[in-house]
Chain A
Amino acid sequence: MIGFVLRRLLQLAPVLLLASTAIWAMIYAVPGGPIGAIAGDNANPEQIAAATAQFGLDRPVLVQYADWLWNAIRGDFGISIRGRAPVLQLIGERLPATLQLAVAATIVSLVIGIPVAIASALRPGSWLDRVLSGWSALALGVPTFWLGILLILVFAVELRWLPSASAYVPIWENPIGALRNLALPALTLGIYVSGILARFLRASLVSELRADYVRTARSKGLPERQIVGVHILRNALLPFVTIVGLMMANFIGGAVVTEAVFTYPGIGRLLIQAISTRDYPLIQGCIVIILVLYIAINLAVDVLYAYIDPRIDYR
């Protein structure tokens, strides 16, 4: 088991290293270089010199890189240029909000996606299947930002039930307030992902339904409920676990658009702000943290998968 985890880590390490190198190198690709970004486009020579010295930009590139990498490994991404606060602190403030939304959206997507997939897979080609598959296509096709706008229009502007801008309220402090604020963004994200999940699960259920072992189970006289509930679902849910994990990983940084629609204070919005203000240390920090979480969730999913699938020998 440990060997398996180590091997996956060894495979992921170069990805992390390469990606973070690319992120670091980004600054050097910016027109005007990092100094322009830090000191501003209209800086005079003295300001530039000061900034150069302050951020150690007069050292050789490799030294700067090694220094950055070493600091990044210790969790030090420097000081935000605009916010004048440690990058890690700024990210830390936003992380709980993002995680709370990710969990809520995952729950919504599972609650919608699994029943839709099962109902449509049991009778492939029936009217119910067509309606539900149409629903999945719609869920996938409607852009989240437009869906968010529609939801705001209905529930905030017309009905005035829910706020149009969602704040972060920790659920353990004020459950009702948290749910009121989470409802629309979680629904927006959840509906979109439920389309992916339903489509995936339906496809694997349909192919499992045709598997030989289903015929064997029928030939033993098992009740249909048991065939679907035990034999088929167990097989179909194995790959499904991976997809759910990947979707969760995607929520961490990929919820940018939804966070923007609802002005929700997650990491995604922090990143947009950082990009629009060209706050490079903050951009780097955000992306590296998102990357690390993304890879960590991927790894966790791999390990979980190897653990629950008896066929995988994780030695």
Chain B
Amino acid sequence: MKKIASRKLSILGRLLASKGSALALIFLVGITLAAIFADFLPLNPVGQKLANALKGPSATNWFGTDELGRDILSRVIFGARTSLVTAGGAVMIAALVGVPIGLVAGFFGGWRDAALMRFVDVLLALPAILFAMAMIAVLGRSQAAALIAVGLTGIPSFARITRAQVLTLRKRDFVTAVEAFGGTATYNMFRTILPNSWSPIFVQVVVLCSVAILLEAALSFLGVGVPPPTPSWGEMLRTGKSYLHEAPYYAVLPGIVLTLTILSFDVLGRALSGLLEGHRDPIIAPKGEGATP
């Protein structure tokens, strides 16, 4: 067990050794802390001051103010909370549903595989953004709906990655060996195959975080995501777009934070994939999952 702990530490060390992933990690830790402790910071995301509307960046309002005179920086930081909670919850749903599907489909094969993977194919039959929109049309617009919708679109990538991993492991002799001494299928699945699958699943969690944040922001941008007045990055860009002439910073500055967040998860995911699995690029979702062109 000591060995495993030290292995984890060494992976963190190697992550920090590369400039790009160290920066990404610092940025993500910073924004997460800001989101958690936003209530204790001198921020006011809701205070309206119409006289102060659409003022550019200044010493008091670093990111300027919006059309209702609210502080954009405050709203960006509270928006981070919305974004991270929605994305994190969505990835959790995706992993909790997708990993067992992949595990069972890959391990048992046959009709279970066929049935489960057809179900996954149905989730994949539409581009992620459309699927999420359709879900929200049914569920009604709310943060929970956005979380569930984004989460459902992430199921296929977990299911497929787990299944692929199980299929390669299934043929390996150490799995057959357990069968040969009389280990049951359940034992093999949870004690042999799953512990050998954490690396790709973990990488996928990180990669999917970036996809989920992007998707959530896109939904809010289209006006079907987390409903106002809860601050969210997509919603800010949506409103900011209407004031491109008067206040270009309104759409530009929150966009930078959003982009940096997505990029950081992506950089981290690729670095982890290189460290844990020995290749530099994660397998790109073959069906363009989560792609939101």
Q: A144-B293, A254-B129, A256-B133 are in contact. Are A153 and B244 (CB under 8 A)?
A: yes
Residue of A146, A199, A271, A276 near B130 (CB, 8 A) is: A271
Bound-complex Cα distance A234 to B129 (A): 33
Within 8 A of B (CB), among A203-226: 203
How far in angstroms is the closest Cβ of chain A from B63?
A: 15
Bound-complex Cα distance A170 to B182 (A): 68
Interface of A is mostly: helix
Q: A141-B262, A275-B137, A290-B126 are in contact. Are A257 and B292 (CB under 8 A)?
A: yes
Q: Are A19 and B122 in contact (CB under 8 A)?
A: yes
Residues on B with beta carbons closer than 8 Å to the beta carbon of A203? 279-281, 284
Within 8 A of B (CB), among A15-62: 15-16, 18-19, 22-23, 26, 29-31
Q: Are B291 and A137 in contact (CB under 8 A)?
A: no
Indicate with 1 or 0, residue by residue over A137-148, a CB within 8 angstroms of chain B CB atoms: 110111111100
26 contacts between A and B (CB under 8 A): A23-B134, A26-B138, A105-B293, A137-B270, A141-B262, A145-B237, A146-B258, A149-B240, A149-B252, A149-B255, A152-B244, A153-B248, A193-B291, A199-B284, A247-B288, A251-B293, A253-B126, A253-B130, A255-B293, A256-B130, A256-B133, A257-B218, A272-B133, A272-B224, A276-B223, A294-B125
Q: A23-B134, A256-B222 are in contact. Are A144 and B292 (CB under 8 A)?
A: yes
Q: Which residue of B lies closest to A256 (CB)?
A: B129
Bound-complex Cα distance A15 to B127 (A): 14
Within 8 A of A (CB), among B23-82: none
A88 within 8 A of B: no
Residues on A with beta carbons closer than 8 Å to the beta carbon of B248? 153, 157
Q: A256-B222, A275-B224 are in contact. Are A29 and B138 (CB under 8 A)?
A: yes
Binding site for A on B (CB under 8 A): 118-119, 121-122, 125-130, 133-134, 136-138, 140, 210, 214, 217-218, 221-224, 234, 237, 240-241, 244-245, 248, 251-252, 255, 258-259, 262-263, 266-267, 270, 279-281, 284, 286-288, 291-293
A236 within 8 A of B: no
Q: Are A137 and B263 in contact (CB under 8 A)?
A: yes
Assuming A143-B255, A146-B255, what are 8 further A-B pairs, CB within 8 angstroms? A22-B122, A30-B137, A143-B217, A143-B262, A146-B258, A149-B255, A254-B288, A271-B130
Q: A153-B252, A253-B130 are in contact. Are A141 and B237 (CB under 8 A)?
A: no
Please provide the 6 A-B residue pairs with the shortest distance between their CB atoms, ordered closest to farther. Answer: A254-B127, A141-B263, A146-B255, A141-B262, A19-B125, A203-B281
Q: Which residue of B lies closest to A137 (CB)?
A: B266
Residues on A with beta carbons closer than 8 Å to the beta carbon of B210? 141
Residues on A with beta carbons closer than 8 Å to the beta carbon of B127? 250, 253-254, 256, 290, 294
Residues on A with beta carbons closer than 8 Å to the beta carbon of B255? 143, 146, 149-150
Q: Are B259 and A16 in contact (CB under 8 A)?
A: no
Q: Are A149 and B237 in contact (CB under 8 A)?
A: yes
Residues on A with beta carbons closer than 8 Å to the beta carbon of B245? 157
Interface extent on A, as a size class? Answer: 35 or more
Q: Are B126 and A291 in contact (CB under 8 A)?
A: yes
Bound-complex Cα distance A268 to B218 (A): 13
Q: Are B134 and A196 in contact (CB under 8 A)?
A: no
Q: Are B281 and A199 in contact (CB under 8 A)?
A: yes
Residues on A with beta carbons closer than 8 Å to the beta carbon of B293? 105, 144, 189, 192-193, 247, 250-251, 254-255, 257-258
Binding site for B on A (CB under 8 A): 14-16, 18-19, 22-23, 26, 29-31, 105, 137-138, 140-146, 149-150, 152-153, 157, 164, 189, 192-193, 196, 199-200, 202-203, 242-243, 246-247, 250-251, 253-258, 260-261, 268, 271-272, 275-276, 278, 283, 287, 290-291, 294-295
Bound-complex Cα distance A31 to B280 (A): 47
Q: Are B266 and A140 in contact (CB under 8 A)?
A: yes
How far in angstroms is the closest Cβ of chain B from A220?
A: 29
How far in angstroms is the closest Cβ of chain A from B10?
A: 22
Bound-complex Cα distance A184 to B133 (A): 24
Bound-complex Cα distance A26 to B222 (A): 21
Q: A19-B125, A146-B237, A254-B129 are in contact. Are A287 and B218 (CB under 8 A)?
A: no
Residues on B with beta carbons closer than 8 Å to the beta carbon of A268? 130
Q: Which residue of A lies closest to B134 (CB)?
A: A287
Residues on A with beta carbons closer than 8 Å to the beta carbon of B222? 256-257, 260, 272
Q: Are A26 and B137 in contact (CB under 8 A)?
A: yes
Residues on B with beta carbons closer than 8 Å to the beta carbon of A199? 281, 284
Residues on A with beta carbons closer than 8 Å to the beta carbon of B125? 15-16, 19, 291, 294-295
Q: Are B284 and A149 in contact (CB under 8 A)?
A: no
Q: Which residue of B lies closest to A27 (CB)?
A: B138
Q: Are A30 and B138 in contact (CB under 8 A)?
A: yes
Residues on A with beta carbons closer than 8 Å to the beta carbon of B214? 143
Q: Which residue of A lies closest to B214 (CB)?
A: A143
How far in angstroms is the closest Cβ of chain A from B76?
A: 13
